[in-house]
Structure 1
Amino acid sequence: MAYSLQSLVTCLLQHTLLQRLSPSSHRLTRQHTRQAVRHSVPNFGAKYLFVRLLAMAFCMSLLNGCAQTSANRDGAANKSMSPEVERQVTTPTEQTQRNAASWLALAEQQSGTAQVSALLNAAQQLQFDGAWQQAAAVLAQLDRYFPTTQLDQQQSFKRGLLHAAFAVEQKNWQAAQAQLDELAPIYPRVANQTSLSLTYRQLQQVLAVAQEDWPLALQLQLEFIAQEQPLRFDTWTLLTADTVSPSLRSDDLVGTGWLALRRILDDVVSAKLTAAQGLAQWQKNYPEHPATEIAADVLAAPAPVQRVLALLPLTGAFAAQGQAVRDGMVLALAKRPDIDVEFVDTATFDFNALPERLQQTQADTLVGPLLKAHIDKVPMALLPEQVNWVMLNTPNNGLGATHAGATVSYALDSETEIRQAAQLFAQRGYRSVLVLAPNTARGQQLEQVFEQSLMAATDGAGRVFFGRYQDADEMKTAVQDQLAVSASDARIWQIKIAAGKIIVEAEARSRDDIEAIYLVGGIEQTRLLKPFIDVTISPFRQPIPVYANSTSHILRSELSENDLDQVHFSDAPWLLPNHPQSKALQQLLQLRPQWDYDLTRLAAFGHDSIYIALQQYWLDRTPGLRLNGLTGALQIRNGRIQRTLSWARYAGQRVVPLR
């Protein structure tokens, strides 16, 4: 008994129909499928062989994948995406005129280009139906039997799009990006094909969202709005996911209105205008805009901050630090005489009395405490719900248990600087990095933070080498060992011994694969390590750039001659030249001549804590908003202030800011 290819397609059609009518009581067994395969006609010829094998593979995969297909339709494709966009991510595929089985049946009757088109449409329809594994089987057989040379330009592009869509559905962002990169040179030649062009750009946007490339995702959104294309993401979500470039424009009035709303919100946060002024201005310029309700919501003015209770150590071991933070707060409040503040010395304060103290002072905002141990003493559950709280450190137990009001944690921590150093290295293409750190538990902890951050920023392509030291002698050894000079010296010595009386002229060579060096220690370690690095690097190779953290930035009066030359460092922008508030910094240092930059950073920290309290409502609701503070660009993410620092380098005794 022989079965033709048509019988296999009929088998597929019948199974699909029965599955829809009664999936629990009608099943096509693997034995029946094997019998169909075994008794099928063997001599169809080359053009039918592929379709025959495909139909059989499809029929089998349909049997094995029913449960999985159903799970994908229920939303499995959206897991592990950012919460604000998770529900909106769908693979951009179109529905075709026929169902998948109909396209396969048509492919049986076609040959050459027409057959390929039918099979591509079948795979496309399967993806639209959520039958991803079956679509992958079709694509796999297409790849096997139809090389690119046998496809026309549009077919090759469409097949690439379907492969990219499958990679997106599998959350394989790297494979999807590689597929789109491969299609990029062809895209200009098919851009006039509306459906292909749209699908390509939609896939670009899905990838941009998945990889948190918010500028690209927003740019594509504005293009879709201008072209009146379907939108797969919420426009306001994309507008508020990150900062918006001042140069970004839209060719469409609707898109321009969206951008204007976001920029007005930026102006409200930077206190250039009030929320009421911003809303009135936007409504006047964009009446009947789709964002009218959103504008009224996001620009609804919150209750103003009127009374602040600040908890700081003003006596005892940490009095200098607490007083520096207080001075910074006073500097900020000098511009806001409408706000009352009361300072409480946490060195002698009974934290159990804090809820009552808040009630007595009628404070609407709590700032502090500064020390972790004091934060742990705050009776969070008893704090009044209407009080907003800006912690000046991170609780030992994290942010899991806080009071019912708005709460944010703000800290000057070394981990922030190290993570941003790793991100900068990745941006500059440094993949092989040497980290020199004190041989202490804290030093090794910061090493791990750097390594994890670099690996994340380079998609696992980074390599980190560690040199550890306990004193000055070990610093020199660590540098020589990690730059392979010690090994080079040993080889030269062995050659000289082997040469006997023959004079051997040789110079030790440092390794040439290290692209950057990061110093974890403080200023004293940097001052000792930098000369060791300079004399260890071979004179015939380019100098290795050396980076450090903010503790290596000191007052000019404390600098020795060129001892930190060409060291790059991150720091609060207020402490770098040409800052808009440099005059206030100089005035403060004249009032506090005993201060170093460590205490000055704490003053900037206190200043910014007041402005965070004033703008906490907006920052908390809009993750992409940034407050340009003295300590850096500030955002609220997951209840914490994320701080973006500035970079500079020493040029002799001068500090040169970097862009």
Structure 2
Amino acid sequence: MTIVNLTKRTAHFSFMALSILLIAACTTIGNEDDAPTLFTDFSQSADFALQKSEILTDPAKTEWALVTIQALTREGQYDIANSMIEELDTTKLTVQQQNHLLLLRAENNYAQNKIDSTLEIMKRIDKNAISKEATVHYLKLKAQLHIRQQETQQAVDTLLTLTPLLTVKEEQQYYNDTLLTQLSMLPSSTLDEQTEQKLPTASLSDQEMFVKGWYSLGSVYQRYKLRTNQLIQGVETWKGIYPNHPVINLMPTQLLNLSEAQPYTPNKIAILLPLTGRFKKPAQALQYGISNAFYNQTSLQNEQYANESSNPEQSEIVITGQFKTTPPNLSFFDTNKMTMQEIADQLHEQEFDFVVGPLLKPNIEHFLPLVTDIPVLALNSFPLDATGQASMTSSIHYAFPLSPEDEAEQAAELMFQNHHKMPLVFAPQSDFGKRASAAFEARWKALLDENNSNATNAVTYFYTKDVNYKNFLGKALKTDVSRRRAEQMKKMSAGRLKALAKNRGNTDGIYIIGKRSNIIFFKSFMSVVVNPYAKKIPLYASSRSHEMDLTNTQDKELEGLTFSDVSFLVNEDGEVNKKIQSIWPKQRYSTLRLFALGYDGYSLIDQLKHLQVIEGYQYQGLVGELNLDNNNTVNSHLTWATYDEDGELIEVTTPTSIK
């Protein structure tokens, strides 16, 4: 075995070497010499574009090189794109080309979730020196950066500049939806201030009317989004005030099909939880989350009603109508003390009109057929039918699971979008580990089939409580075989050959399902087992790895680990996290996850119809971004974060493209 140690200099591809490699892979040359317009959705591949840049002379040569960089980023070949950017950076470029190259560099960094470096590059771009297509691209990237940074006002300002420049219907729809969402997140005082009639309407320019109209629509949506009848009236009134506003031709998705999205407004809500017995503690965490959401929502509604009653003139559009200020009656049922039949009989007898729960799958399976006439949000998955598909018994029944299987599937999606080709899964030898790893493997296989990928199937290795981490990793990564071969070669050469064990060459990512202690041991033994000169294998983990660091050392030991968790726990410095930690301190993260599930479970009651009827509608909860699939199951998109060298969390998302 020969081990070659590459220096940084020899490992860096020169532009010429890269050109030769890519040209060799190409088979045909097109006849057209004009490069496609940069920052548009062209069809040419990176290989084709690079070939063009090699056979032509300037100015076409440089334009094709810039197109190649855009194509490489789009294809996920970030390192090669960066090599070309650095090479072009040393050549003579026009002022416009220099700024286009900066924008391409920013896009390449953004696609890899390098937010800080993207922001720095964006500051260097001269907006007056770029093409109109580049301007649109720049504004799209700027808007998404502001949204990622939760800079709502800046995002609104950028989107108001961007949306009039768009010409493709799908893009117009996406950014109209995004703009309304961002507007609704502004303080109501800001929206009202922007819609005050400071000048006669006839004195306002078209641009001023455009901006004012958007703020007014945002105010209507924010004020009435949970009161469908008033929202419908408010939108119609708005159209009468702004009959020529461009958004009328493509209204945001949130405002479509409103008549079918009348929310549930129950008067009596039953909460079904196992409040005694084995699952008492998890049930109490859910109960606390549900109760907290109930009191917060009641307080918010009363405050909003008081503000509207005392200051109706503050908003440009005020729709009068019934406003429910009496909170619903909340009753908790212990599913360990009553049978499902007994509970169903009591719910019908006392005319309950909504149910949250049950929690346990056997109870869900027995309960749902008994209450087909009552809306139910079960706090777990639906039972499966003979084909393995979720089986709901009524269109008014919904499921809200927070399961390791869902988490594993999202890990597979992230690793696939991060361009891993052969992932390994390390899972505990238990029913939990088998279910989660099977979900990862199945989702990974589906992604391969959907994308005609040449990546290989995921492979799972199970570990036990008393696992020998060194031996386990040696077998999983095949370094034990490599080490034996290295020792044999060393003996054959009478000790003259120095060889290092080589890890399994096609393993480029590992998903670990385990507790924090497992992760720390795996990570520390990786440095012993894996060739130190080889590229580090990225490690991903489930939420089980995320715990409160009471020693102030463990987070630093997990440097580089990427994990998923419910949204509010990842945002450690967020206001929601701080508030919950203050009123319910020193709780395990596993308990707080159930709190979040309960909180969102109650909060979803008046959101379910919107999720069910309005295409593309999403709700941001404590768990994460929530939507509803065709089987009435609430899907939770968890948040991902990575530990840096100081043990601090850096929030990440899947590799991002500019829409």
Q: Is residue 462 of structure 1 aligned with residue 460 of structure 2?
A: no
Match of 2:580 among 577, 585, 594: 585
Amino acid at match of 2:584: L
Pairing 1:312–2:265 present: no
Deviation at 1:654, TM superposition (A): 3.0
Q: Deviations over 1:45-95 (max 9, x none)?
A: xxxxxxxxxxxxxxxxxxxxxxxxxxxxxxxxxxxxxxxxxxxxxxxxxxx
Matched, 1:377 2:366: yes
Of the three residues 308, 326, 341, the one matched with 1:352 is 341
Q: Call closer, same or farther: CA 1:472–1:568 in 2, change over 3 Å.
A: farther
Match of 2:292 in 1: 331
Shift of 1:461: 2.6
| Residue in structure 2 matching 1:485, options 479, 488, 491 | 479
Report the Cα offset of residue 579 of structure 1: 2.9
For the pair 1:497 / 2:411, whether they are aligned, the reply is: no
CA contact (8 A) 1:366 1:389 kept: yes
Write the mapping of 1:11-410 to structure 2, written as runs, cut at 5 A. 247=159, 249=163, 251=165, 273-274=224-225, 275-283=228-236, 284-285=238-239, 287=243, 297-299=257-259, 301-337=262-298, 338-378=327-367, 380-383=368-371, 385=373, 387-397=374-384, 402-404=392-394, 406-410=396-400
2:441 is matched with which residue?
A: 451
Q: Is the 8 A contact 2:421 2:506 kept in 1?
A: no
Residues of 1 paired with 2:173 and 2:443: CA distance? 37
Aligned residues of 1:430 and 1:516 also touching (Cα < 8 A):
yes
**SS state of the match for residue 249, structure 1?**
helix
CA distance in 2, matches of 1:152, 1:512: 40
CA drift at 1:444? 3.9
The answer on whether the counterparts of 2:382 and 2:391 sit within 8 Å (CA) in structure 1 is no
> Which residue identity is paired with 1:438?
P
- Aligned pair partner of 1:536 in 510, 529, 538: 529
Q: Which deviations, in whole Å up to 9, do the C-alpha atoms of 1:294-321 show, x marking residues without a partner? A: 9574256445233211001111111000
SS in 1 for 2:641: strand
Change (3 A) 1:456 1:178: farther
Q: Distance in 1 between matches of 2:638 and 2:443?
A: 16
Give the match for residue 407 of structure 2: 417
> What CA distance in whole angstroms lies between the structure 2 residues aligned with 1:480 and 1:258?
48
Deviations 1:523-547 (A, max 9, x none): 3322321111122222222322111
Q: TM-score, normalised by structure 2?
A: 0.57
Q: 1:581 to 1:534 in 2, by over 3 A?
A: same
CA pair 535-251 structure 1, distance change in 2 beyond 3 A:
same
Q: In structure 2, what is the equivalent of residue 438 of structure 1?
A: 428
**Structure 1 residues 349, 514: closer, same or farther in 2, change over 3 A?**
same
Which one-letter code corresponds to 1:372 in the other structure? K
Q: CA deviation at 1:271?
A: 6.0
How far is the alpha carbon of 1:605 from its aligned partner? 0.4
Q: CA deviation at 1:447?
A: 2.8
**1:324–1:600: 8 Å Cα contact kept in structure 2?**
yes
| 1:262 Cα deviation from its structure 2 partner | 8.2
Question: In the alignment, what sits opposite 2:519?
Answer: 526
The structural deviation recorded for 1:603 is 0.3
Change (3 A) 1:537 1:271: farther
Q: Unpaired runs of 5+ in structure 2?
A: 1-26, 37-41, 52-132, 134-154, 185-217, 299-326, 654-659
Distance 1:253 1:414 in 2: 42
1-structure distance, mates of 2:617, 2:627: 6
> Matched residues in 2 for 1:505 and 1:292: separation?
69
Q: Find the aligned partners of 2:266 and 2:179 in 1 and give their Cα distance.
A: 23
Give the conservation status (yes or no) of the 8 Å contact 1:431–1:462.
yes
Tell me by how many angstroms 1:263 deviates. Answer: 6.2
Take 2:530 and 2:174, find their aligned partners in 1: how far apart are those partners? 53
- Structure 2 partner of 1:127: none
Shift of 1:566: 2.3
Distance 1:383 1:481 in 2: 52
**1: CA distance between counterparts of 2:350 and 2:256?**
33
CA distance in 2 between partners of 1:446 and 1:353 (Å): 34
**C-alpha separation in 1, matches of 2:399 and 2:537:** 37
Q: How big is each residue's C-alpha offset from its partner over 1:165-197, in whole Å with a ceiling of 9 and x where there is no partner?
A: xxxxxxxxxxxx9899999999xxxxxxxxxxx
Which structure: larger Rg?
A: 1
Distance change >3 Å, CA 491–CA 485, structure 1 → 2: same
Is residue 270–residue 627 contact of structure 1 (8 Å, CA) maintained in 2?
no
Matching residue's letter, 2:398: V
Match of residue 618 from structure 2 = 626
In structure 2, relative to structure 1, the CA distance for the partners of 1:320 and 1:480 (3 Å cut) is: same
TM value normalised by structure 1: 0.57
Number of aligned residue pairs: give it: 429
Instruction: Give the SS at the match of 2:607.
Output: helix
How far apart, CA to CA, are the structure 2 residues paired with 1:656 and 1:314?
37
For 1:476, the equivalent position in structure 2 comes to 470
Shift of 1:393: 0.8
1:566 match: 560
Conserved? CA contact 1:436–1:517, under 8 Å: yes
Distance of aligned partners of 1:254 and 1:430 in 2 relative to their CA distance in 1, 3 Å threshold: closer
